[in-house]
Amino acid sequence: MSALADALRSHLGARVPRVALVLGSGLGALVEAVEDARHIPYAALPGMPVSAVSGHAGEVVIGRLGGVEIVILSGRIHYYEAGDPAAMRPALEALKAIGIEILVLTNAAGSVNPAIGPGEVMLIEDHIAFSGRNPLIGEATDARFVGMTTAYDAALRTAMLRAAVKVEEGLHRGVYMWFSGPSFETPAEIRMARVLGADAVGMSTVPETILARFLQLRVVAASVITNMGAGITGNELSHTETKEVAPTGGARLARILREALPDIAA
Ligand code: HPA
């Protein structure tokens, strides 16, 4: 087992979480609902990939959410930080090693669908890896040929949709398209994304979903929409806006997730 997995296990003690949650930009407030929370800075975990992006706390939070034992990664490293699409692999491998079976991925994203607005939440049903990069390039085993037909687990998606109805929060469904970033898209790229079948665009999540399926983790993912894609409103986009708007949708997503977690973990 890696030093990172060993360290996580020692912090867990007698706890045996099966669910891990990765929080996207500006979504750190989801941690506030965690009971018996224990915070471990990434810097204190050997081999933990550290993101330097503002709006990412950079800590592991262990505790219970909706009564379910959980490991939260508050902050993730992105492909655009160092050009490595597999940057999250050591973290996901460590989660697998400590017994995690289900990965909940969240992100902040731009909408390219006029029916999905800022502050709203979209359940990811499928994705388009538009960056063209794949985190499994260089993997030498046949396990690299990962099936992606049902990458986003149908039963887990149903649990999220049911939970949203129960807590009376809207939950859109759509396709997430991964751009490398870190520059935002152009208006022409956003029009292209729409034509190609995307509902939202963002700079994360897809490589983690591919790695998680490689590791045979079940995946469910949601986007918090922070803005309309470039050119839709004429406003310039900024990371400041992402961080400012994310908590609105983040609070919605937190309510849905807390309700869904018992079913997700069942
Ligand atoms: N594009 C890409 N990533 C994003 C956006 C966007 O419009 N908003 C938040 N993250």
**pLDDT digit string, tens, across residues 54-77:** 877 899 999 999 999 999 999 999
Q: The domain spanning residue 200 has which CATH number?
A: 3.40.50.1580
Q: Which atom of ligand 1 is nearest to the CA of 239?
A: 9
Q: What does the block give as tokens for 97?
A: 């090693």
In three-state secondary structure terms, 253 is helix
- From ligand 1's centre to the CA of 90, what distance in Å? 25
- From ligand 1's centre to the CA of 190, what distance in Å? 11
pLDDT at 27: 86
Mutate to test the pocket of ligand 1, among 124, 237, 245 (most ligand atoms within 8 A of CB): 237
- Ranges of the chain with pLDDT below 70: none
Cα-Cα-Cα-Cα torsion 49, 50, 52, 54, nearest 10 degrees, comes to 110
Amino acid at 244: E
pLDDT at 125: 98
Residue with CA nearest ligand 1 atom 6 = 110
pLDDT at 116: 98
Asked whether 100 lines ligand 1 (CB < 6 A), one says no
pLDDT tens by residue, 75-115: 999 999 989 999 999 999 999 999 999 999 999 999 999 99
216: left (phi over 0), alpha (psi -120 to 50) or beta: left
- From ligand 1's centre to the CA of 176, what distance in Å? 11
Please tell me the chain's helix, strand, coil percentages from 3-state DSSP, rounded to the nearest 5.
Answer: 35, 25, 40
Domain count, the chain: 1
pLDDT at 25: 82
Q: How far apart are CA 26 and CA 180, in angstroms?
A: 19
59 bridge partner residues = 41, 74
Which residues constitute the domain of residue 211? 3-265
Residue with CA nearest ligand 1 atom 10 = 109
- From ligand 1's centre to the CA of 233, what distance in Å? 14
Overall size of the chain counted in residues: 266
Residue with CA nearest ligand 1 atom 2 = 202
Asked whether 24 lines ligand 1 (CB < 6 A), one says no
Mutate to test the pocket of ligand 1, among 185, 203, 204 (most ligand atoms within 8 A of CB): 203
Residue with CA nearest ligand 1 atom 3 = 202
Judge whether 177 and 110 are in contact, CB under 8 Å. Answer: no
ω into residue 182 within 30 of 0, thus cis?
yes
Q: How far apart are CA 79 and CA 240, in angstroms?
A: 20
**128-165 core/surface letters (b: 16 or more CB in 10 A; e: else):** bbbbebbbbeebeeeeeebeeeebbbeebbebbeebbe
Mutate to test the pocket of ligand 1, among 226, 233, 244, 245 (most ligand atoms within 8 A of CB): 226
Q: How far apart are CA 244 and CA 238, in angstroms?
A: 10
Q: How far apart are CA 32 and CA 65, in angstroms?
A: 10
